[in-house]
Chains A and B, each alone.
Chain A
Amino acid sequence: MLNNDYIKQRLTEKFGEQVTNFEEPFEMLTFEAPKEINLKVLQFLYDDEGLQFRFLTDLQAVHYPDNTGRELAVVYHLHNLQANVRIRFKVYTSISTPDVYSATALYSAANWMERETYDFYGVNFVGHPNLKRILNVEEMDYFPMRKEFPLEDQTRIDKDDDMFGRGKSY
């Protein structure tokens, strides 16, 4: 029976102290590993007879600017379709050297997902066959989903912009 405790036990047997931060928010097993072994963990989850997490549901990044040295988190959502169990796997990387190994060899689906993650967060997926921007224009020279680019404050009054409901006449 594939459950969170079993997955946790198998991972600890295989990787020991390297897999950390086991949590179960809303019953989904979430854990973390160093970015150097992300492919080893994914491969193990894919191949292991008892685990067989062969469906990459989603892949994206999260930016934590205050988390010095671990600013960017790359999050993988994996799914074992037969046992219908989902897990979430995270690797953290610093924003100065955002290199993470690409999972494209394991999952064809990771190709565009990684391009999207690169496009918005600047995570450099090492080994990706075609790592270029996908949704934004190619000339863009920053990564817009990072937290240092806040959306405009709706309450600002220094703009004279009557058409949008702010400015001197309001």
Chain B
Amino acid sequence: MSDLTHHKNIRLPEGSIEKTTTTLNLGPTHPATHGVFQNILELDGERILSSESTVGYIHRAFEKLAERRPLYQITTLTDRLNYCSSPINNMGWHLTCEKLLGVRTPKRVDYLRVIVMELARISDHLICNSIVGVDTGAFTGFLYVMQYRELIYEIYEEICGSRLTTNMGRIGGFERDFTPAAFEKLEKFLAEYPKVLKEFEKLFTRNRIFMERLIGAGPISAERALNYGFTGPNLRAAGVDYDVRVHTPYSSYEDFEFNVPVGTTGDCYDRFLVRNQEMWQSLSIIEQAYKKVQAFKGTEHDVYHADSPEYYLPPKGDVYTKMEALIYHFKIVMGEIDIPKGELYVPVEGGNGELGYYLISDGGRTPYRLHFRRPCFIYYQAFEEITKGSMLSDAIIVLSSLNLIAGEMDA
């Protein structure tokens, strides 16, 4: 290859050495990245010799912004981390605040939150898995499941009024009780989704072409995965049964029966299988939670928030007629309530793994420091190692099966 004579039209300076590898920019706006981030790949033919990732294209300085906002205004920032499962982020933030403020939520609130979080997990996983299908050239599965993500979004809409960036719930519970329509839609989802998921699995799981593409692509050992700080489905695909819901139960997850599916090799196929299995587990959790919610009797039947007037907005009717309610309303909205001093780390199991909130309060009205542990940002570092020496087309599936969400990476 160093023979330059065959280049009739290119005149290189005397003594030049011809480069025999190709540099390829995968991103920042490439269909396969499903978000804005860049990978500079060094290719020998179709094999990847090395890669370098550039992230930060949609960095929005959430941690800095949070230092000037009262607690309830930070919920909207968490929406925009992993926007495929924003209710989990919202609930995780509320749980963090409640732990710091010492607010105890009623069981019904916990179960309603579990329903919402598991719906969010399903919508996150089904997008990830169907995108793996799209990136391998199978578009059909994506269209099959998409209408059920739409149904999940409709349920969000019934609960809180918005669909993608939900800003759902308040410190201490929900802003209002679930409407009957929300439960109707939930029942519809529980009745219809298993069939669709089964069909989706039938299309993919034992599909010869799909298996050939995924098995052995982008594997990672359990040891390396732990060293790289993997969490969530990607870690479980490597064979480590770490799940925050089981290890540090929050929002009454200890009341539910579910399995933690694990893989063995940590390759794309295992990640796909683990996510599919987790959707079945989430469905079962939702069913259990819905039964528990229905079983409440008497006054417990319509409790949807904790009794904490200092942090939970009073009903609007009371604000107009009662002095105390008016005062609390004003103080909460203006962010004039000092938060207690404290330092805490609260993890929840997000769609992609352990989503952590590290909050330091110095007794002021806003956090002194807030850090989001974003699982995506941490495990994306491994991309170079797990794609080294593989084909370019494998790197594309690795990107989608790791479920990289640019919003979560860049915070």
A residues lining the B interface (CB < 8 Å)? 25-26, 28, 30, 54-58, 60, 62-63, 75, 77, 81, 84, 86, 88, 107-109, 111-113, 116, 120, 133-137, 144-145, 149-151, 154
- Chain A to chain B: the 10 pairs with minimum beta-carbon distance, closest first: A109-B229, A135-B56, A135-B59, A26-B344, A58-B373, A60-B371, A151-B68, A25-B343, A108-B227, A62-B369
Cα of A133 to Cα of B248 in the assembled complex, Å:
34
- Residue pair A88, B360 in contact (C-beta under 8 Å): no
- Residue pair A25, B344 in contact (C-beta under 8 Å): yes
Cα of A48 to Cα of B303 in the assembled complex, Å:
49
Number of residue pairs spanning A and B whose beta carbons lie under 8 angstroms apart:
91
When C-beta atoms are compared, the residue in chain B nearest to A151 turns out to be: B68
Stretch from B148-156, B175-183, B376-384 at the A interface: B376-384
- Residue pair A136, B56 in contact (C-beta under 8 Å): yes
- Residue pair A55, B226 in contact (C-beta under 8 Å): yes
- Residue pair B64, A151 in contact (C-beta under 8 Å): yes
> Other CB < 8 Å A-B pairs besides A25-B342, A55-B226, A151-B67, 19 of them?
A26-B99, A26-B343, A28-B345, A30-B343, A58-B345, A60-B358, A77-B358, A77-B373, A81-B242, A107-B227, A108-B229, A109-B378, A112-B380, A116-B377, A134-B55, A136-B56, A145-B63, A151-B65, A151-B68
Cα of A26 to Cα of B102 in the assembled complex, Å:
11
**Distance from A133 Cβ to chain B, minimum over Cβ atoms (Å):** 8
Choose among B63, B381, B410 the residue that contacts A109 (Cβ–Cβ < 8 A).
Answer: B381
Find chain A residues with CB under 8 A from B356 CB.
57-58, 77
Find chain A residues with CB under 8 A from B373 CB.
57-58, 77
Would you give the 0/1 interface string for B361-398, flagging 1 where the beta carbon is closer than 8 Å to chain A? 00000001101010001101110010000000000000
Given A28-B344, A109-B378, A113-B378, does the pair A58, B358 have CB atoms closer than 8 Å?
Answer: yes
Cα of A82 to Cα of B358 in the assembled complex, Å:
22
Choose among B59, B61, B229, B369 the residue that contacts A107 (Cβ–Cβ < 8 A).
Answer: B229
Could you write out 13 A-B pairs with CB less than 8 Å apart? A58-B371, A81-B247, A84-B247, A84-B248, A108-B228, A108-B385, A109-B229, A112-B378, A112-B380, A120-B63, A134-B55, A145-B63, A151-B65
Find chain A residues with CB under 8 A from B67 CB.
151
**Distance from A123 Cβ to chain B, minimum over Cβ atoms (Å):** 14
Find chain B residues with CB under 8 A from A150 CB.
68
Choose among B59, B224, B377 the residue that contacts A136 (Cβ–Cβ < 8 A).
Answer: B59
B411 interfacial contact with A, CB 8 Å: yes
Choose among A88, A109, A149 the residue that contacts B227 (Cβ–Cβ < 8 A).
Answer: A109
**Distance from A91 Cβ to chain B, minimum over Cβ atoms (Å):** 16
Choose among A84, A86, A107, A134 the residue that contacts B345 (Cβ–Cβ < 8 A).
Answer: A86
Q: Which of the listed residues B67, B343, B347 has the most CB atoms from chain A within 10 Å of its own CB?
A: B343
